[in-house]
Amino acid sequence: MSIRRKDQRNKSWNEIKTNDSWALFKIMSEFVNGYERMSQIGPCVSIFGSARTKPDNKYYDLAVKIAQKIVDHGYGVITGGGPGIMEAGNKGAHLGGGTSVGLNIDLPFEQHDNPYIDPDKSLDFDYFFVRKVMFVKYSQGFVVMPGGFGTLDELFEAITLIQTHKIDKFPIILVGSEFWSGLFDWIKDTLLERFYNISPEDVNLIQIVDTEDEVIEILDEFYNQFNLSPNF
């Protein structure tokens, strides 16, 4: 390798290190802004699901009904702020006259904020990991509708944090037994009973339901025993 080429590579590496250092300030600003704004909103339940779910899909309609029930029972609703199930969650909260929060993420496709978010409760993020911290810290429960990789990522992040006692336990409710039963069976049959990679009590961290009334029953039963508060 020539000396000139080596110098160019070293220069590039040094530029990367410098950019990484400056990125810390942007990350910190997202945390500070998120903490300050979310701490003022009050108890909320997060609704997750596919951005690709269309308004004529039965799970879109169910997400609207679930969100309406949630706000009727005194909680706000947080979503990822985009289309599909996220839009349905914010729409239900809006129709119910409750708090409707959107944690938007800047993506090259799929993501745009929906019109049902309260104007003063729409937050924008560049970093997925900062956004996920806001979900976990300020949600009193996760309602997880059918979705893809992003939905699964948020689901298993919450399960892991509760399993390892990094955050306080809160309800994790999977909606749609036809969608979630196969995954749940694999968790029990493969992770637990065949390979012993989780403990028996870990299976109880999630519950599967099919109706909005079941969602509310789980939330209310849990918070009849525990206080509403940030999770860490």
Q: Structure pTM?
A: 0.92
Query: Does a structural domain hold residue 99?
Result: yes
Q: Alpha helices, DSSP H only, in 96-228? A: 128-138, 149-163, 177-186, 212-223
Percent of the chain exceeding pLDDT 90 equals 86
The answer to the question of residue 125 being in a domain is yes
Q: What H or E segment, with its residue span, contains residue 8?
A: helix 3-38
Q: Which of 88, 114, 92 is nearest to 103 (CA)?
A: 114
- 141 or 4: which leads in pLDDT: 141
Position 1 in a domain? no
Domain for residue 212, yes or no?
Answer: yes
Residue 31 in domain:
no
pLDDT tens by residue, 180-205: 999 999 999 999 999 999 999 999 99
Indicate whether 33 belongs to any domain. Answer: no
Q: How many domains does the chain divide into?
A: 1
Strand partners, 100: 77
Q: Which of 196, 134, 142, 133 is CA-nearest to residue 169?
A: 142
| Two structure tokens written together for 182 | 């196969």
Mean pLDDT, rounded, for 144-161: 98
- The CATH number assigned to the domain holding 181 equals 3.40.50.450
Question: Looking at residues 102-120, what average pLDDT do you find?
Answer: 87
- At 108 the pLDDT is 74
Residue among 137, 140, 158, 152 nearest 232 (CA): 137
Name the more confident of 93 and 8: 93
Residue 179 counted as domain residue: yes
Q: Is the pLDDT of residue 110 over 60?
A: no
**Cβ atoms 114, 92 nearer than 8 A:** no
Print the domain residue range for 139. 41-223
Domain membership flag for residue 164: yes
